[in-house]
Amino acid sequence: MKTGIDAIAFDIAKIHLPIKTLATTRNIEPEKLEKGLGLLKMTLPDMHQDTVVFGANALTKLIFEQNINLNDIARIYVGTESAIDSSKPIASFLSALIEQKFGTDCLAECDVVDFTFACIGGVDALQNCIDFIRLNPDKKAIVITTDIAKYDLNSTGEYTQGAGAVAMLVTSNPRIIAFEKDWATSTKGVFDFFKPYRNINKELITGNNANENWFDNLEAEIEIHKDQPVFDGQYSNQCYMDRTREAYFSFKKLKNTEETVYNTWSSIIMHLPYSFQGRRMLSEIYALDSKEMEMDIHSLNYQNKLKEVSKSEAYQKIVSEKLQPAEIASSIIGNLYTGSIFIGLLSTLSHFYDTNKEIEGLKFGFLAYGSGSKSKVFEGTIQSKWKEALKKVQLFKTLEESQEIDFETYEKLHKKEQKASVRTPNNEWILDSIEKENPNLLGARYYKWID
């Protein structure tokens, strides 16, 4: 029995800032970002959007497009690193909204939960659901990745921002891709990228050293949380490369093969915090697993050799044939954190669909990464009905309809100074209000569907 992804839907933020606009304003040479990193646009959440909105829109679209019977759905698992609550998972918000639209108790027997491990949480959710479907082939599951990648203004991560969600139906005998049984993992607890709680002395806020009650806070120190991460770009890149390399060669052991594994993959789908990140990270695996090259990872000249390898004609051929299709959407969306690897898959499938290339029976390799840090390597085979499942998706057509904003609007949105939505919502979920009066519901977030 085969198990994998039967259908895919998405919801991407519908406003964007051209990377050229950001670069010019920040006194960065545009070509450095456009041609050096592959960045063209970055999508941004509007005032009525958060991670629940993106996830709910992707899920609702999946239900409508695939005419899903919700009684068949046994679980909805969410991968995210942009939670809006420290207790209540996004998945429980989503189940409530789906019941609000499709009928009370339609998901009452559905298991829901969130997975958090930076950008790899969605892959963790997928693997868990695949294992569940293998044990329960008559059941169906939905995996959702939803995130907002936000970085501090003027930071080195600012130009990699993005926002959106991907929803995937996981079944037995799937139409799009069936995954193999071997999944390799490499994990190490590090601080390459994280979002800590931060402490501020209350006296600095109130100007009073008596530790009086301040908005029901009785502690002398106030804990705050920022959407923006603490990160070390170079160190994070090294962790990405180390974990992915280790997972790749563990995967090779699981398959008990001496052949060059990436040669068996027609496409390679990687986590892309920016469009060209994958081609930079894969060069080491390419060099080490090539039968034509012998490299000592501890040699003093190692990095120089890697640079030579990455510029070689043979490696550039790998990039253009196996990596480039996944980069297309990333260039015009930005980083989706947990959704990045799956929008890469959808970008690849949509590219082949639009160019009428037949890929049935071809094998795709996946190299996932999440800071903190963990990598997983796995593979799947494209199924015979993949085109049928892609008919209603229209990824690139939808992305073309995104509304461009100016830099002033971008900064107001980032600083949360914007008072109204940039664009009028239509046929989608919105964040309607946040409870501020009822003491038993303070902070509760209410959503509604806009026709």
At 223-255, the pLDDT tens digits run: 888 999 999 999 999 999 999 999 999 999 999
**b/e per residue 189-218 (b: at least 16 CB within 10 A):** ebebbebeeeeeebeeeeeeeeeeeeeeee
Examine the domain organization and report whether 199 and 175 are in the same domain: no
Pairing of strands 197-201, 374-382: unpaired
Quick one: pLDDT band at residue 308, thresholds 50, 70, 90?
Answer: confident
Q: Identify the CA nearest to 163 among candidates 73, 67, 80.
A: 80
Looking at every residue in the chain, the average pLDDT score rounds to 95
Q: Are residues 109 and 206 in the same domain?
A: no
Rounded CA gap, 59 and 43, in Å?
Answer: 20
24: enclosing H helix or E strand: helix 19-25
Coil, strand, or helix at residue 260?
Answer: coil
Tokens 């090259």 belong to residue = 293
Mark whether 102 and 204 lie in a shared domain. no
Q: Does 200 share its domain with 265?
A: no
Cα distances from 317 to residues 271, 279, 290, 291, 387, in angstroms, run: 20, 11, 14, 17, 26
Vertex 362, ends 358 and 368: CA angle to 5°? 120
pLDDT at residue number 295:
66
Kindly report the CATH number assigned to the domain that includes residue 255. Answer: 3.40.47.10
pLDDT the model gives residue 368:
98
Residue 207 and residue 96 share a domain? no
Identity of the amino acid at 197: Y
Q: Please give the single-letter amino acid code of residue 26.
A: R
* CB distance 212 to 206 below 8 Å: yes
Pick the last residue of a domain from 225, 244, 269. Answer: 225
| pLDDT for residue 292 | 58
**One domain for residues 409 and 307:** yes
- Compute the average pLDDT of residues 285-308: 78
Give the global pTM: 0.96
Look at residue 293 in the predicted model and tell me its pLDDT.
Answer: 62
Domain that holds residue 209: 194-225
Q: Is 26 in a helix, a strand, or coil?
A: coil
Which of 202, 225, 248 is the last residue in one of the domains? 225
What are the φ/ψ torsions at residue 93 (nearest 5 degrees)? -60, -45
Residues 20 and 89 in one domain: yes
* CA separation for the pair 182, 254 (Å, rounded): 7
The residue among 204, 225, 246 that closes a domain is 225
Other residues' Cβ atoms within 10 Å of the Cβ of residue 65: 17
- Give residue 214's pLDDT band: very low, low, confident or very high (50, 70, 90): confident
Q: How far is CA 257 from the centre of its chain?
A: 31
pLDDT score for 113: 98
Q: Are residues 78 and 99 in the same domain?
A: yes
Residue that the structure tokens 């080491």 belong to: 284
**pLDDT exceeds 90 at position 206:** no
Same structural domain, 70 and 215: no
> Quick count: other Cβ atoms within 10 Å of Cβ 236?
22
Residue 69: predicted pLDDT: 96
Angle at 271 between CA 191 and CA 329, to 5 degrees: 135
| Domain identity same for 376 and 396 | yes
CA distances to 150, 176, 202, 332 from 43, in Å = 10, 27, 35, 8
Q: What is the pLDDT of residues 37-50, one digit of tens each?
A: 999 999 999 999 99
